[in-house]
Chains A and B, each alone.
Chain A
Amino acid sequence: MGSVGEEVARLLQIGRPVFRDGVRQFLLARSTLIVAALLLTPGLLSGWFWYDSRGKVETQVIAGDEVRVFEGEVLHAVMADVFYGLAFHLYLPLVVALVALLGAAELLNTEFKQKTMQLLRTSPVRMYEILLPKLLAGTLGTFVAVGTPLTVIYLALLAHGGSFGLREHLPLLGAVLGTLLLASLAYTSIFLLINALVQRPLPVSLVYWLVWEVMLASGDSQRFSIMHYLRSFALPRLDYLGIVADDLNLAIESTSGGLTELVSIATDPWQAVGVLLALTTVAMLLSARLLERKQF
């Protein structure tokens, strides 16, 4: 074992071709392109709205800012709500996991299908030197595949609010992209682990996602799901929109002295990041160990 510097240099050297090839493989996969194209479709809302509201949008100056108004509604606030709903109730809880699932299969299961894993195992590399760049490729691939349509949708929707609208809700876009990055990392690591663990990873990954991340991600048990920590990370960043814990399913009913109230069970955002990073690390260590010990 060399020094930390040598290990890092080696990891960069070995990891570069694996990462580069992984990103290329992920982003050029037919499934990724189809999903990314489908994810853009909500952007059509913008076109529909433009058609529906043509000639009816007024510009008002409020507190020195040019604000667009449609039928008495401040457009940038309406569009921000639409974008928030799409991002936090459709894309982040449902779409990201599916894209990461497909990506992890593309990155790791393909190595088994194409039997190149046996070549990797007979190469002078440790499995984490292969897995880490694959994790990064999967994370980046998922982030780009989902983040690009989300950014396009943000621009398409908030453009109705003019330049003020686009600027005003950059924190929302930041919260979405930040949460997306964490989601891409955590889900990719879990799905890589499933790919290392079983021969048919797609059904197992789907069952995990449906049972663990969708069905479990409510009530108190959600603390065992990735989704809980993603929402916890996002919550304070959405405060400016008036989003509270209950809006993100982060509140449970608590009865005390006959009084029932909603109590936030959100985890501290930086603790949430810590939990997700720890989960990723454990998943990677387990995956590397499984692959090192796999017999062919």
Chain B
Amino acid sequence: MQGVSNVSLELGPGITGILGPNGAGKSTLMKLVLGLARPSLGRVRIDGRDPASDWELRSRFGFVPEYDCFYDHMTAREYVAHFLQLQGVAPDEAGERAAALLDDVGLGDAMERRIRTYSRGMRQKAKFARAIAHDPNLLVLDEPFQGTDPTTRRLLMELIRSWADAGRTILLSSHILHDVEALTDRIVFLSGGQVLAVGDRHAIQKLMPHVRQKVRLTPADAGQRPQLARLLLEQPSVEGVSLQRDWVEVDTTDAEAFHRALPPLLRKAKIAIHGIDSPGEDLEALYEKLVGGEQWEA
């Protein structure tokens, strides 16, 4: 198990995505939130209460682990109803609610089959149905899309969005950048058990001044590119400049200082800029910048 250290996070309603490669500490962080592990230093609080010792607090949790967690001998309906009964729901009502939920996630026809006969996607749906059956307000979803087909993935994403819209707090981990990007802008980057950055991808870039970034400046007059390049090289925040056919590409390790210094510089040199953008400013590029070289494969 990868330990986590120096992790300080506050979670609120909506979706928070945790990104990181295998062994980054994503699952450990989730277990800390759920009280399945205790921090040796520091503390975890849900509404001011300790999830590791406060058993009543757990009625607010819904948990979808990344691994299979089924009773082999149970059907999906029995499985969901079993955990509903542990929430204090009467057996008959538990059975009815389980059936309705399984129907909602598309397992209506298969709910009386034993889960061990299910495909990967069906198992994932059964896990989701169990996790939300008791209407929790904190959902912890560990690699929820792992092994699912595109249709199931889309369905699960819609469900997650609807829960977030209903005001639930959702903590979602994934090593698939696209999945997290499609669901939320609030991202926690983990690597080696440490939080590398928290925020939306733009904020993260600001938070990571030491990370080398590329900024592409396209002058309105392409003939001004050499002049612009010379001026940019004089800036302490600029590490290097390359002249391209239509633009100037700048390497900076202090994007914030660079963006602060750029407007007066352009005004002084009377250079009009047609466009500024950061190539590869997606999560993949950002993550590679943050952790450099670690593998994403599951």
Contact status B37-A296, CB under 8 Å: yes
Contact status B71-A21, CB under 8 Å: yes
Contact status A124-B87, CB under 8 Å: yes
Task: Give min CB distance, A84 to chain B, whole Å.
Answer: 38
Contact flags (1/0) for B156-171 with A, using CB distance below 8 Å? 0000000000000000
Report if A3 contacts B (CB, 8 A): no
The count of chain B contact residues (Cβ–Cβ below 8 Å) is 32
Contact status B86-A124, CB under 8 Å: yes
Contact status A296-B73, CB under 8 Å: no
Q: Which of A21, A24, A119, A126 contacts B63 (CB 8 A)?
A: A119
**Closest B residue by C-beta to A117:** B69
Report if A125 contacts B (CB, 8 A): yes
Contact flags (1/0) for A12-39 with B, using CB distance below 8 Å? 0110111001001100100000000000
Contact status A116-B88, CB under 8 Å: no
How far apart are the CA atoms of A13 and B87 in the complex, in Å?
10
Given A17-B82, A17-B86, residue A296 in contact with residue B36 (CB < 8 A): yes
Q: Which of B35, B58, B67, B91 contacts A115 (CB 8 A)?
A: B67
Which residues between 44 and 97 of chain B lie within 8 Å of chain A, taking CB atoms?
Answer: 55-59, 61, 63, 65, 67-74, 81-83, 85-88, 90-91
Task: Give min CB distance, B274 to chain A, whole Å.
Answer: 54
Contact status A125-B55, CB under 8 Å: yes
Report if B34 contacts A (CB, 8 A): yes
**Closest A residue by C-beta to B86:** A123
A123: chain B residues at CB < 8 Å are: 58, 83, 86-87
Task: State the main secondary structure of chain A at its contact with B.
Answer: helix
How far apart are the CA atoms of A16 and B90 in the complex, in Å?
10
* Most A CB within 10 A of own CB, among B38, B65, B90: B65
Which residues between 63 and 117 of chain A lie within 8 Å of chain B, taking CB atoms?
Answer: 114-116
Range class of the A interface residue count: 20 to 34
Contact status A295-B87, CB under 8 Å: no
Report if B225 contacts A (CB, 8 A): no
Which residues between 238 and 295 of chain A lie within 8 Å of chain B, taking CB atoms?
Answer: 295
B81: chain A residues at CB < 8 Å are: 17
How far apart are the CA atoms of A226 and B150 in the complex, in Å?
58
Report if A237 contacts B (CB, 8 A): no
Task: Give min CB distance, B93 to chain A, whole Å.
Answer: 12
Q: Which of B36, B38, B70, B71 contacts A122 (CB 8 A)?
A: B36
Which residues between 137 and 172 of chain B lie within 8 Å of chain A, taking CB atoms?
Answer: none
Contact status A124-B58, CB under 8 Å: yes
Contact status B85-A16, CB under 8 Å: yes
Report if B123 contacts A (CB, 8 A): no
Contact status B35-A122, CB under 8 Å: yes
**Closest B residue by C-beta to A295:** B37
Q: Which of A24, A118, A295 contacts B69 (CB 8 A)?
A: A118
Given A114-B69, A119-B69, A124-B56, residue A13 in contact with residue B36 (CB < 8 A): no
A116: chain B residues at CB < 8 Å are: 69-71
B91: chain A residues at CB < 8 Å are: 16-17
**Closest A residue by C-beta to B56:** A124
Task: Give min CB distance, A237 to chain B, whole Å.
Answer: 38
Contact status A115-B69, CB under 8 Å: yes
Report if B175 contacts A (CB, 8 A): no
Contact flags (1/0) for A212-256 with B, using CB distance below 8 Å? 000000000000000000000000000000000000000000000
How far apart are the CA atoms of A14 and B57 in the complex, in Å?
16
How far apart are the CA atoms of A28 and B73 in the complex, in Å?
10
Task: Give min CB distance, A106 to chain B, whole Å.
Answer: 11
A17: chain B residues at CB < 8 Å are: 81-82, 85-86, 91
How far apart are the CA atoms of A233 and B210 in the complex, in Å?
76
Report if B31 contacts A (CB, 8 A): yes
Q: Which of B57, B68, B74, B86 contacts A120 (CB 8 A)?
A: B86
Given A114-B71, A115-B68, A122-B58, residue A14 in contact with residue B83 (CB < 8 A): no
* Most B CB within 10 A of own CB, among A24, A115, A121, A126: A121
Contact status A121-B69, CB under 8 Å: no
B72: chain A residues at CB < 8 Å are: 114
Instruction: Give the 10 A-B CB pairs with smallest separation, nearest first.
Output: A124-B59, A296-B36, A115-B69, A17-B85, A124-B58, A123-B86, A295-B37, A122-B63, A122-B34, A122-B61
Mind listing 6 A-B residue pairs with CB under 8 Å? Answer: A118-B36, A119-B65, A122-B34, A122-B61, A124-B55, A296-B31
